[in-house]
Amino acid sequence: MLEFAVLPIVLALSPLQSAAAAAPQAQAETQSALPTVEELQARVAKVFESLQAKYEAMKDPTPEQMAEFQKSVGAACDAALEGIDLAKLDAERMAAVEQIVSMSPKGRVAMRAMLAEKAKLPTVEGFVAAAKAAQLAENGQGNAEAVALLGHPALAEGLTTQEGSMVFMMVEGASDDAIKAHAAALEALASKFNPDAPVAMLRGAQEYLGLCRIALPKDKADAARAAVLACVASKLATAEGRDKAMLERMSKMLNGAAGRGELVGFAVPSMHFDWVRRVDGTTPWKDLSELKGKVVVLDFWATWCGPCVGSFPQVAEMRKHYGEDKLEIVGVTSLQGMVAHQKREPVECKGDAAKEQAETIEFMKDMGVTWTVGITQEDVFNPDFGIRGIPFVAILDQDGKVVKAGLHPSAEEEIRKTIDELLANASKKG
């Protein structure tokens, strides 16, 4: 089932709505002239049904087809919002259409205009409005707007909100110089991660520490990490349910190589491969140490991950371009309890590793996988690599040192440039 990414956009009252609140009768008349909540929900349902059918009809879409499909998503959402003045919607009506607003080019423009005035407020309300506007920005503008939020007077309080938890993630795409300009704010924020901090503030802690490693000297970045770790430990002592699971995973991430700032530029973290195969069933190696002398591309993936499978054509082209004596490409995954076949019914394999391994070979055959696939004891969301989403690409040099991490397979230019540089350096040494 196709799942569309939707930004969590929940509007506070706009200036127009605030004015209407002072005149209930006028507001009631305005709302009565608008589509009902049920009518708006029907519009949204129709959009998703149409897009789902269009996506399924494409079968194995090419990158060009996916690009066209994405355009059709925007056009369909624009059409569904035609004739609706978002500024006049009450909270209930806005909730009915918020999913398609974030995917509608026209809707995003209208929403950003509505948020602009509120974003000027030096309060949590202003911080949230600015964060929402940054989420709706395009062409990298959101990075700049998110960076500006690091200097907002309500930064610490704003980070406890749902929108605030996304800010550090957006800032990660900004330049190092832009991040360093807010070094003082990042350093000061460390003191807010204390036993009294709400759990919500920790949602963006990993990204926060990543920014600290860019903007601060090592001793100060380490101090910020220590503060966050102490906060996590304090909260874990009494946490339950989802909060406990989130904090346990965060603790593993922060204590992993990436969390310690010891991933890129360091030897690849230890991984234990229980199963390594090529599509013909052969085992080319059993441990990464056997690949010394080759450049290694690690592509973390899973059969159920649509973007992972969607990147296979790029990976296949890379495998074809470079000789196997120079480059090894490894699709790294872990046992998932099932294999989500694309050309046949999914197969449940929970508790049966041998079955999942056999089904993985069939998946590789069906999907034209020409590179090596390995199943590790470590989870595919490997905490040493700081992996929070897949696909995730890391590149190792000929000595087994991590030179790049966190790339997407579609970043072909950067990946190939890195590989070419490593191969050229090896030739010079030789």
Q: Does 106 fall in a domain?
A: yes
The model's pTM:
0.74
Convert the pLDDT of each residue in 381-407 to its tens digit. Answer: 999 999 989 999 999 999 999 999 999
Count of domains in the chain? 3
Average pLDDT, integer, range 12-35: 46
Q: Give pLDDT, residue 170.
A: 87
* 334 plus 201 within the same structural domain: no
Q: Please tell me the predicted confidence (pLDDT) of residue 424.
A: 93
How far CA 133 is from CA of 136, 143, 355, 420, in Å, comes to 5, 11, 48, 39
DSSP-derived 3-state class of residue 294: coil
Shortest CA distance to 360 belongs to which of 421, 264, 278? 278
**Same domain, yes or no: 400 and 279:** yes
Give the pLDDT of residue 162: 85
Instruction: Give the tens place of pLDDT for each residue, 200-259.
Output: 889 889 899 999 999 999 999 999 999 999 999 999 999 999 999 999 999 999 999 999
Reported as a pLDDT band with limits 50, 70 and 90, residue 13 is very low
Domain that holds residue 374: 273-429
Could you please report the per-residue DSSP string of 243-290?
HHHHHHHHHHHHHSTTTTT-STTSBPPP--EEEEE-TTS----SSGGG
Q: Tell whether 229 is covered by a domain.
A: yes
Would 184 be classed as within a structural domain? yes
CATH of the domain at 304: 3.40.30.10
Residue 413 and residue 317 share a domain: yes
Mean pLDDT for all residues in the chain: 88
Which tops the pLDDT comparison, 63 or 94? Answer: 94
* Same structural domain, 251 and 277: no
Q: Which of 228, 255, 282 is the last residue of a domain?
A: 255
Q: Same domain for 111 and 5?
A: yes
Residue 27 has pLDDT above 80, yes or no: no
**Does 263 fall in a domain?**
no
pLDDT > 90: what percent of the chain?
Answer: 66
Please give the average per-residue pLDDT across 417-428, as a whole number: 90
